Amino acid sequence: MARELSTLWPLMMPIERQGDENCTVAAKGVRLTFLDGREALCGTSGLWNTILGYGNEAIAGAVHQALLDASYLTVWRYENAYARRAAEALTEVAGRDHYGRVLFSTSGSAANDLVTKVVRHFFALRGEHSRKGIVGLEGSWHGLTFGAAALTHGDLGNRVYGIDRRLVTHVRPNATAELTELLERHRGRIAAVVVEPVIGTGALELSEEFVAALLRLRREHGFLLVADEVTSGFWRVGPFFVSQGWPEQPDLLVTSKGLTNGTVAASAVIVARHIADEFIEAGAVLGHGETQAGAPAAAAAILATIEEMRRLDAPALNAALAARLDTELAALTDEMTEVTGSTGRGCLRAIELRHPATGGQLTDEEVADTVAAIRAEGAIVHPGPSCVQLLPALIYTAEDLSELFARIRAGLKRGT
């Protein structure tokens, strides 16, 4: 007999885990309330979005006012003043000396589809029509719309859905020789290399040596370098965008999630001046449009989130929370034999796990069971490859973090 389910079809959730026990009804600060009345401490910022916590009144108020004053305005064959102000603010925090224009979208996935169009159109304008190849990194996550799914490493039904990867390939992160060989073999055909500065799946940070090699290879081969900072941006890792700490800036920067503190579906592609100028000089119209991209509510949320980052001193919040995470993660590793260490930086971390009996890596199902056990103890974490991921909001207090790790400990013990 089929299981009785609600009419809602939740995304990326196995049938056996669907039901009232995973239905949320409210959120405030860093805590979630479920349908059955239970409360849980959120250690993931709501799928990495609510970097300033749930229910920020300044952001909610800005969205409310924009809906009253403008309701809906488009950037499809029009402009609107809200989107203009949001674009100005994003180039300011990213760096006006390098970035010149902003394209708005509605999700990280859609923004990565947009990136593919921009880089291929850019080279077509320059007469380099054979430059269509896109290189990503193994373990990367860029979304699940058709273009982004091709770029995301791993197979989530690619054959069933007809995902086309003929012009996309992947290399191991931090494997300079592998990337060098690939670029040499396909010289003149690679349009872009797309990287997450800290790969969200597993919280693997790109090494300084690999970043230096990316920049050197860009000069040698002429591809565009794209930094997907959907996860790592907005002081999640530090600085505002991780790539601002690189010796040279990427050509395109992708942001979402923290962009509106999760309040409104929005993303943006921040475009370097030399890329934008190519389109301006050619009078070229980019073949992309989205009904809700750059709408007033989204733009207002972006502006308010940036202002809240300033008001709350996000750099100081990041530094303090990152230091406390270092301490808690080290203690957890020393205390529990099933914890082998941690990865990541800033407030983007992963707890690496091994099987308590065999010492081997956990299967995806075992990780899911571990996440469920921690959830049963009152904390939300995210599954990763033989790890659980932590992305606490910047507003976490020392007491919140101590509570989170106490619940994680209890969940790990329950799981074994």
Give the tens place of pLDDT for each residue, 238-268: 999 999 999 999 999 999 999 999 999 999 9
pLDDT, average across residues 214-229: 98
**Does 17 map to a domain?**
no
Quote the domain boundaries for residue 317: 313-415
Residue 359: pLDDT band (50, 70, 90) is: confident
Average pLDDT over every residue of 277-288: 98
231 and 185 in a common domain: yes
**1 confidence band (pLDDT: 50, 70, 90):** very low
Number of domains forming the structure of the chain: 2
d(CA 286, CA 265): 22
Which of these three, 312, 332, 358, is where a domain ends?
312
User: In this predicted model, what pLDDT tens digit does every residue of 184-218 receive, in sequence order?
Assistant: 999 999 999 999 999 988 899 999 999 999 999 99
Q: Looking at residues 351-365, what average pLDDT do you find?
A: 92
Amino acid at 207: S
* Residues 273 and 334 reside in one and the same domain: no
Q: What is the mean pLDDT of residues 312-317?
A: 98
Residues 102 and 138 in one domain: yes
pLDDT at 2: 59
CATH number at residue 127: 3.40.640.10
Distance (Å, rounded) from C-alpha 276 to C-alpha 132?
Answer: 18
Residue 292 in this model has a pLDDT that exceeds 50: yes
Band (155; pLDDT cuts 50, 70, 90)? confident
**Whether pLDDT at 236 is above 90:** yes
Of 289, 312, 335, the residue that ends a domain is 312
68 and 166 together in one domain: yes
In this structure, are 182 and 280 located in the same domain? Answer: yes
Note whether 244 and 146 are same-domain residues. Answer: yes
Question: Same domain for 292 and 341?
Answer: no
pLDDT band at 416 (very low <50, low <70, confident <90, very high): low
| 297 shares a domain with 188 | yes
Q: Which of 312, 332, 357 is the last residue of a domain?
A: 312
In a domain, 3, yes or no: no
Are residue 325 and residue 197 in the same domain, yes or no? no
Q: What per-residue confidence (pLDDT) applies to 414?
A: 83
Lowest mean pLDDT among 82-86, 97-101, 201-205, 266-270: 201-205
Within a domain: 275: yes
183 within domain boundaries: yes
